[in-house]
Structures are given as C-alpha cells and as structure tokens.
C-alpha cells in the first residue's frame, strides 16, 4: 500500500510530522512548485526564488536520506498549477491509497485540504505542525475567558513552559521584559555587521532564471541573490548573527538608518518560517550566549520574546479568530493603497527607504513595517486588507498566519483592539528620534502645518480628529483626544483642510 506524503514549501524540515513514522519503502514524498501558490498574491520575485530553491535543495536532501521524492517543477509540461491538481496527479501516478499531510499554515489551504478525502476518495490524514511551542488547543485554553488577550501574559506562560531565561519560578534578571532598554537610536559611525551571504549554486541560479522568465512583472529585484537555501546554510547564518550582531541587537532593534537595511537584526525569519531553522533550538542557542557572558540580557530576552512570545502569539490569534479576520476594518479605512508602496516614488524619505530596501531585499525590519509603512497607512486611512495583501506579497518571511495579525491587529487596529492595546499612530517625531531619515527629507519634521509639513504630522492630528469619538474614553488615547479638543479652532481648521488636500494628492507625496 503506497502512502503519498505532501510537503508544502514552508514545511522544509525532516522533523515535520507528516514524515514521522513513515517507511521510505512504501512512501512517496510529493513536493510541487505550483502557479497557484506563486500567484495568490503577487509575491516578490526574490521570495519565489528563495522558496523554490529551498524546496529543490530539500528534495535532494530527502533523496540522499533514502526517501523517494516526486518533485514537480513549475515548468513541468503536465503541471496543473494547483496543489490539489498535483496531489491528484500524484495519486494516479503512484497508485496511492493513503495521503498524509501536516496541517497548512493558512486558512485558505486548510479549508481546501479538509475536502480532499471526499475529492480524492482515499484516506487523508492531516497532522498537527510540531514546529510550534503552543498547540491550537493550548492557545485556546489560555485565551478562554480572558477580557484581554495581551501578548505579554501569553509570553510569560511560554517562558514557564520552556524554562527559557528562568530561575526557578522567577524570570532571569527579576523582570520578564527588557523592552524599555531596546529603544536606542543608532548612529552611522557604529560598526554594522552584515548578514552572512551565500553564493547561489547551480540549483539557485536555475531557479532565479526561471523566476525572471516566468514572473517578469512582479515586484522586487532578483539581482545579487544571497539568501540561504539549505538548513546548513541557514544554521551558518544564525551562528553568524550570534557572533557578530546579537550583543547589540537589543539596544538598536528599533533603530533605522539610511543605507543600512539590516543593522543588528538576525535576518533569519525567512529560514525559520519555512522550516530551515528550529525556533526552540534558536532560543536555546541565544540563551547560551547570555549565560556564557557573550550577550547582554536585554538583547537575549528581546530575541527570545520575538520567537516564543510574539511569533507564537500571533499564530494563536490567527487560528482562533478565523478566516474572516482578514476582512476586519474597525476604523472603516477605505483608501486604496498608494502606488508608491510599489514604486518607492515618494518624497517622504522614510517611506522611500523602507520600500526601496523591500524591493531590493524582500526585507524590512519590524519597526520599518510597523512605524513607517504601517503607521502611514493607518494615519491615511488605507484599506487594511489592501495593506495586508501588500505585506504578504513583498516580504520573504511573510505567511498569512504571521503577517495577518501583525497587519490587521497590531499595525492597523482593524480588529478594534483585540490584539493591540492602542493604535500605533505617531507623528514624524518618532521617526526622527529613531532614524536619520528626516534630515534628508523633502518635508520638515518640525513643521506641523504648511507646504513643507511632514505628512505624518498633519495626518496624525487628522487621525485623532477623525476617530475622536471612538478614543475619547480610551485609556491610552484619551489624552491626545483631549489635546485636540483644546486646540485653537483656527488651528484645527487648518490641520483638517491641509490634511484633506494632502490626502487628495496622496499619490504625489
């Protein structure tokens, strides 16, 4: 009896549950490059190339380990263009009587897979994904009956469960969170490490050529491809981060500098999210650096919090809230996404820098996503679903389970405060404090009104005015609403009029 095992492009790990207990003697592993997965949003070309290359390399590793692998390339003449189509073809090819898969990471695929047993007429087993610390049931139990689903409290449970940075029942250093120590602006004279670069081998070169030919109009550069595409390379990249960047990661994780897209960030989330790295092993390795005296506690705690706290938490929110979460719009934001999110043609230096490096590397760190492109969209009233689809398309580490709650919940407050305790609304002062962008900007960060006024400044107060009724009694927003209410009526009128004019010409900013 032949068992067919389907592995998805974000399941590139030999410890994936679909392989657990399988016998290579009666098993065929299917891995398929399909147009449907490459085009459900217009993915960055570097993202497609990274995943196809990693998939092809993983298939070779499985073959070397003794597995029989049926690998379908995008340009296979019989490629149906869909996962279901390729599963159906493989069932016929191999006369498979059983199909095993590890659960998908996105609602659209889960709903499709749930119907496969009926469609294909064979036994289909869907297994949990073991690469996460908290199961769906565990998160649901934690969330049940809580008035507030704040990440900080979930994170503490994950610390207790894993024992990471714990001394008995107490957190290392006497406190759970050292985020207040991680907000230093960086200066251009600091030594800046670089992520480890990997020269593309023959497989990667072939994939890059394929993507260039098949996706010529997609966003993003394929030039100078350097990402890791194997577990060995990914692990080398992570060890490089531990050695050269982790010690200062905490201090400068929120900083932004012109021409420095990476600063002290690990730049390994793409490897983690597709299965090339193990999250708990990464956290253990970071903890070792602290106990060995090679990295300070604020850096180590900050890194671990992003993995076992925030990453696990947003996955829990995603699956708990259901597929309609993608369409929530509590602030009734309806403006189309401005074209400069794709073209980088804007005089706003901060937005231009974030989009340019996204175009070149399929990467921007969390503050650039949250407080630059995200905050501008929030202030301008951009449709959160459009913004969600942009983030999902352009970042190499983006999968809906992790990207959607970050966008709809944290960045755009479109879930009405389920995830975030307040909207991440901010004027240009925040960007000026955390970056060197404003000094070379066409707009003046110190100007609140007038032709040279920073658009973030104008739109901040316009956002407060538009949503004053909603936030007048909000514990973290009421003060700003009161400040607006006390503002001189003439000044209010100027801000509202200039903001309306700015939004009318948003494509020319």
CATH number at residue 345: 1.10.579.10
Q: Which of 108, 127, 146 is the last residue of a domain?
A: 127
Q: Which of 186-195, 334-343, 500-509 has the lowest mean pLDDT?
A: 186-195
Q: Is residue 295 part of a domain?
A: yes
**408, 328 in Cβ contact below 8 A?**
yes
pLDDT the model gives residue 274: 98
Q: Is residue 31 part of a domain?
A: yes
Average pLDDT, whole number, for the chain? 96
What's the CA gap between 168 and 504, in Å, rounded? 58
The total number of residues written for the chain in this structure: 509
What's the CA gap between 229 and 485, in Å, rounded? 55
Q: Are residues 73 and 156 in the same domain?
A: no
Q: What is the pLDDT of residues 63-76, one digit of tens each?
A: 999 999 999 999 99
Q: Are residues 361 and 419 in the same domain?
A: yes
Q: Are residues 21 and 107 in the same domain?
A: yes
Tokens matching residue 405: 């709650």
Note down the domain range covering 261.
136-193+245-321
Q: Are residues 183 and 266 in the same domain?
A: yes
What's the CA gap between 45 and 36, in Å, rounded? 15
Question: Residue 20's CB: how many other CB atoms inside 10 A?
Answer: 12
Q: Is residue 231 part of a domain?
A: no
Q: What is the pLDDT of residues 210-239, one digit of tens each?
A: 999 999 999 999 999 999 999 999 999 999
Tokens matching residue 142: 């934690």
What's the CA gap between 50 and 444, in Å, rounded? 39
For 28, 86, 114, 360, the CA distances from 97, given in Å and listed in that order, are 11, 15, 17, 45
- Among candidate residues 168, 223, 172, 167, the one with its CA nearest the CA of residue 200: 223
Tokens matching residue 295: 């990295």
Q: Are residues 313 and 402 in the same domain?
A: no
CATH number at residue 81: 3.40.50.620
Q: Are residues 156 and 272 in the same domain?
A: yes
What's the CA gap between 236 and 234, in Å, rounded? 5
Q: Are residues 20 and 140 in the same domain?
A: no
| DSSP-derived secondary structure letter, 408 | I
Tokens matching residue 166: 């714990």
- Among candidate residues 317, 387, 343, 310, the one with its CA nearest the CA of residue 156: 310
Q: Is residue 225 part of a domain?
A: no
For 30, 38, 183, 405, the CA distances from 420, given in Å and listed in that order, are 40, 31, 19, 10
CATH number at residue 172: 1.25.40.80
The whole-angstrom distance between residue 183's C-alpha and the CA centroid of its chain comes to: 21
Tokens matching residue 206: 């072939």
Q: What is the pLDDT of residues 357-382, one digit of tens each?
A: 999 999 999 999 999 999 999 999 99
Q: With a threshold of 0.85, does the pTM exceed it? A: yes
Q: What is the pLDDT of residues 285-341, one digit of tens each?
A: 999 999 999 999 999 999 999 999 999 999 999 999 999 999 999 999 999 999 999
Mean pLDDT of 477-503: 96
Q: Are residues 313 and 347 in the same domain?
A: no
pLDDT the model gives residue 187: 78
262 pLDDT above the threshold of 80: yes
Tokens matching residue 139: 């998160």
- Among candidate residues 288, 195, 277, 187, the one with its CA nearest the CA of residue 244: 195
What's the CA gap between 25 and 21, in Å, rounded? 12
For 12, 24, 34, 103, 149, the CA distances from 28, given in Å and listed in that order, are 16, 7, 18, 18, 42
Mean pLDDT of 15-43: 97
**220, 394 in Cβ contact below 8 A?**
yes
The whole-angstrom distance between residue 225's C-alpha and the CA centroid of its chain comes to: 20
Whose tokens are 């769906």? That residue is 136
Q: Is residue 346 part of a domain?
A: yes
Which band of pLDDT confidence, cut at 50, 70 and 90, is reported for residue 41?
A: very high
- Strands 27-32 and 68-72 come out as parallel
pLDDT the model gives residue 439: 94
Q: Is residue 200 part of a domain?
A: no
Question: Residue 400's CB: how many other CB atoms inside 10 A?
Answer: 24
Q: Are residues 313 and 393 in the same domain?
A: no
Q: Are residues 44 and 164 in the same domain?
A: no
Q: Are residues 142 and 50 in the same domain?
A: no
Among positive and negative, which fits the CA dihedral 225, 231, 236, 238?
Answer: positive
What's the CA gap between 405 and 245, in Å, rounded? 28
Q: Is residue 233 part of a domain?
A: no
Q: What is the pLDDT of residues 165-191, one digit of tens each?
A: 999 999 999 999 998 888 888 877 777
Which band of pLDDT confidence, cut at 50, 70 and 90, is reported for residue 147?
A: confident
Q: Is residue 396 part of a domain?
A: yes
248 pLDDT above the threshold of 80: yes
Counting the structural domains of the chain, the total is 3
């Amino acid at each position: 009896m032949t068992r067919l095992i389907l592995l998805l492009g974000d399941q590139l790990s030999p410890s994936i549950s679909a392989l657990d207990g399988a016998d290579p003697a009666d098993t065929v592993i299917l891995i398929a490059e399909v147009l449907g997965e490459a085009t459900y949003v217009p993915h960055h070309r570097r993202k497609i190339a990274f995943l196809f290359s990693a998939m092809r390399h993983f298939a070779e590793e499985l073959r070397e380990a003794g597995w029989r692998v049926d690998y379908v390339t995008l340009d296979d003449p019989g490629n149906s263009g869909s996962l279901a189509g390729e599963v159906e073809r493989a069932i016929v090819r191999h006369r498979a009587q059983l199909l095993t898969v590890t659960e998908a990471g996105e609602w659209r695929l889960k709903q499709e897979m749930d119907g496969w047993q009926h469609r294909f007429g064979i036994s289909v087993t869907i297994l949990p994904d073991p690469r996460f610390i908290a199961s769906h049931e565990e998160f649901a139990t934690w969330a049940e009956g809580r008035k507030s689903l704040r990440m900080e409290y979930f994170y503490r449970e994950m610390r207790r469960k894993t024992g990471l940075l714990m001394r008995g029942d107490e957190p290392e250093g006497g406190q759970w969170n050292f985020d207040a120590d991680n907000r230093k602006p960086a200066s251009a004279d600091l030594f800046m490490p670089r992520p480890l670069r990997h020269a593309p081998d023959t497989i990667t070169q072939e994939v890059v050529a394929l993507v260039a030919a098949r996706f010529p109009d997609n966003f993003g550069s394929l030039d100078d491809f350097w990402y890791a595409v194997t577990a060995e390379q990914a692990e080398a990249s992570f060890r490089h981060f531990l050695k050269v960047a982790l010690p200062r990661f905490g201090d400068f994780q929120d900083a932004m500098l012109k021409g420095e897209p990476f600063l002290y960030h690990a730049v390994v989330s793409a490897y983690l999210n597709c299965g090339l790295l193990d999250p708990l092993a990464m956290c253990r390795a970071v903890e070792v650096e602290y106990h060995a005296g090679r990295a300070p506690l604020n850096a180590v705690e900050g890194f671990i919090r992003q993995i076992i706290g925030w990453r696990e938490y947003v996955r829990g929110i995603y699956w708990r809230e259901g597929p309609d979460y993608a369409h929530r719009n509590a602030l009734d934001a309806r403006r189309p996404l401005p074209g400069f999110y794709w073209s980088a043609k804007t005089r706003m230096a901060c937005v231009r820098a974030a989009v340019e490096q996204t175009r070149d590397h399929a990467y921007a760190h969390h503050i650039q996503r949250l407080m630059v492109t995200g905050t501008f969209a929030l202030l301008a009233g951009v449709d959160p679903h459009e913004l969600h689809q942009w983030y999902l398309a352009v970042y190499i580490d983006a999968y809906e389970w992790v990207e959607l709650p970050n966008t709809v919940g944290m960045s755009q407050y479109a879930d009405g405060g389920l995830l975030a305790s307040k909207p991440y609304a901010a004027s240009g002062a925040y960007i000026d404090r955390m970056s060197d962008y404003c000094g070379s900007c066409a707009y003046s960060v110190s100007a609140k009104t007038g032709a040279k006024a920073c658009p973030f400044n104008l739109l901040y107060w316009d956002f407060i005015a538009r949503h004053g009724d909603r936030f007048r009694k909000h514990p973290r927003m009421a003060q700003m609403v009161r400040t607006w209410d006390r503002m001189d009526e003439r000044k209010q009128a100027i801000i509202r009029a200039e903001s309306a004019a700015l939004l009318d010409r948003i494509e020319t900013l």
